[in-house]
């Protein structure tokens, strides 16, 4: 439903990702509520708009999107895709805009992960914050919320719409789910799984005809050598998580793998 063809620039990535997300928030109320409640939004019908122009002096501000809940609560949305970080100057301009127009919050979405939970990845001047809260969601958070809501609803249309959003955001052309920490990080592919080799069994020859002894030795290095090139590798601490190796050190950039479909790994009965 959400096409990935025709995306030739990051600008188009951002426009299409914003439109897909905001449309799904409107169509699936529980998903929209899951994303607006942390911003302090009240319960109510959600309306969303893309690229709404706001006049500021002799020029216009054009945020990627606007979320409106009921008649009283409004938030601006600023989006970035791929490896490009959010820009401080744009965020500060939108905070000023929100203060001038009595807008309640600013939501930012990008592939950046803040070093501390609850901290925004882009620092802005303290005087710009005022009374307007600014909340950040990584794209991985958006996908995780969509997965949770899809698994927790019996509405077939909602399941289908959330599945289409997940499918789009997981596509390499969408620009989401790319957690580049360095210039060497991949920019056109999804995180690469690097699987550890399976244990190797050694079966020695029997010592004498009357008795056979089979010893199985597992060749496991207690301290495996680090990868020889940058990439996403399974985290030793959490099996369902990937961690970015930048070629020298393990970084704090993490990617939580989506849960396996129900019934995966079960034997197939004829």
Per-residue pLDDT, 266:
54
Burial, 44: exposed, middle or buried (Cβ in 10 Å; 0-12, 13-18, 19+)?
middle
Per-residue pLDDT, 255:
76
Q: Do strands 134-138 and 105-110 pair parallel, antiparallel, or not at all (unpaired)?
A: parallel
What is the Cα–Cα distance from 90 to 189, expressed in whole angstroms?
Answer: 28
Neighbours of 241 (CB within 10 A): 14
In the chain, where the domains are located? 10-174, 179-204+215-259
Q: How many degrees, rounded to 5, is the angle at CA 191 between CA 185 and CA 192?
A: 100
Per-residue pLDDT, 269:
56
Give the list of residues 6+ apart from residue 244 with CB closer than 8 angstroms, or none.
Answer: 179, 181, 185, 230, 231, 232, 250, 251, 253, 254, 255
Nearest CA to 255 among 242, 268, 266, 237? Answer: 242
pTM, full prediction: 0.65
pLDDT in tens, 211-258: 434 343 444 444 567 777 777 778 877 877 888 777 777 888 777 777
Regions of the chain short of the pLDDT cut 70: 178-224, 259-270
What is the Cα–Cα distance from 218 to 53, expressed in whole angstroms?
Answer: 64
Looking at domain 10-174, its CATH architecture is 3-Layer(aba) Sandwich (3.40)
What is the Cα–Cα distance from 126 to 39, expressed in whole angstroms?
Answer: 19
Per-residue pLDDT, 233:
79
Per-residue pLDDT, 262:
62
Per-residue pLDDT, 223:
55
Nearest CA to 224 among 239, 211, 234, 215? Answer: 234
Neighbours of 160 (CB within 10 A): 13
Per-residue pLDDT, 267:
53
Per-residue pLDDT, 236:
78
Per-residue pLDDT, 220:
45
- Sign of the Cα pseudo-torsion (28, 30, 35, 36, in order): positive
DSSP SS3 for 73: strand
Q: How many degrees, rounded to 5, is the angle at CA 155 between CA 149 and CA 157?
A: 95
pLDDT in tens, 112-124: 988 777 789 998 9
Per-residue pLDDT, 13:
92
Structure tokens at 216: 């199985």
């Amino acid at each position: 439903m959400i096409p990935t063809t025709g995306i030739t620039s990051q600008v188009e990535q951002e426009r299409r990702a914003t439109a897909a997300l905001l449309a799904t928030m409107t169509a699936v109320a529980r998903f929209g509520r899951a994303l607006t409640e942390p911003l302090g939004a009240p319960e109510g019908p959600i309306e969303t708009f893309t690229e709404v122009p706001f006049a500021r002096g002799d020029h216009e501000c054009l945020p990627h999107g606007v979320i409106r809940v009921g008649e009283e609560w409004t938030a601006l949305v600023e989006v970035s895709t791929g490896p490009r970080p959010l820009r401080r100057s744009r965020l500060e301009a939108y905070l000023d805009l929100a203060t001038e127009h009595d807008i309640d919050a600013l939501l930012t979405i990008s592939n950046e992960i803040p070093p501390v939970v609850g901290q925004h990845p882009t620092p802005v001047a303290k005087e710009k914050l005022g009374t307007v809260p600014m909340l950040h969601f990584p794209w991985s958070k958006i996908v995780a919320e969509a997965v949770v809501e899809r698994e927790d609803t019996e509405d077939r249309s909602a399941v289908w719409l959330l599945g289409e959003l997940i499918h789009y955001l997981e596509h390499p052309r969408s620009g989401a789910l790319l957690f580049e920490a360095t210039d060497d990080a991949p920019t056109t592919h999804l995180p690469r799984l690097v699987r550890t080799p399976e244990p190797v069994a050694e079966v020695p020859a029997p010592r004498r005809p009357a008795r056979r002894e089979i010893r199985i030795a597992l060749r496991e290095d207690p301290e495996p050598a680090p990868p020889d090139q940058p990439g996403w590798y399974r985290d030793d601490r959490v099996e369902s998580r990937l961690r970015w190796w930048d070629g020298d050190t393990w970084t704090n950039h993490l990617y939580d793998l989506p849960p396996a479909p129900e019934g995966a790994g079960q034997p197939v009965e004829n």
